[in-house]
Amino acid sequence: MVDQGRAPAGAVRTKRFASAYLFAAVEPATGAEVALVLPTVSTAAMSRFLAELSAQIAPDVHAVLVLDQAGWHGARALVVPPNLTLVPLPPYSPELNPVERLWLYLRERYLSHRLLADYDGVVDACCHAWTALTQEPRRIQSLTSYPWLPCLSS
């Protein structure tokens, strides 16, 4: 019998966790992508990602980014570059967000059920998973092409 709240003698137990967050945008029609692995989820992190995304867009292009209504996606302090427009989805509708299927794919294939040594290991795993996915642009297209997306450009 084990005392409540205690691990058995000799058992290894840890409460240390390290997390990294993958910010990404993809173009369903082409499979083009931009991603950053960042240590936090915040308005500042989202602003940094949007700046990186903006820098990757051709000078004569304006991009629309479909996203959920997470607090950092619409915070007043969020810096949205002029060549981007953010289109929030209705609340509680993750099934409408094309990138959600990418997260599911990455978790199923690369990121679930893993014990990583430290934060650097977490970052490396995220980078490896994203790099593997980007080697398959057609997979990105098939996972993120939703029939309603062309309506945004109309």
* Digitized pLDDT (tens) for each residue of the chain, 154 residues in all: 333 455 556 656 556 678 899 999 998 888 889 999 999 999 999 999 999 999 999 999 999 998 888 778 878 899 999 999 999 988 888 778 888 889 999 999 999 888 888 899 999 999 999 999 999 888 988 898 877 666 555 4
Angle made by CA atoms 116, 122, 128, in degrees to the nearest 5? 110
Dihedral sign (CA 135, 39, 59, 83): positive
pLDDT at position 16 is 66
Question: CA–CA separation, 25 vs 33, rounded Å?
Answer: 6
Q: Give the domain ranges of the chain.
A: 21-110+127-137
Angle made by CA atoms 45, 122, 145, in degrees to the nearest 5? 65
How far from 40 is each of 26, 35, 37, 97, CA to CA, in Å? 21, 14, 9, 21
pLDDT at position 4 is 44
For helices 98-106 and 137-144, what crossing angle results, to 10°? Answer: 130
Average of per-residue pLDDT values in the chain: 84
pLDDT at position 13 is 58
Question: CA–CA separation, 57 vs 74, rounded Å?
Answer: 21
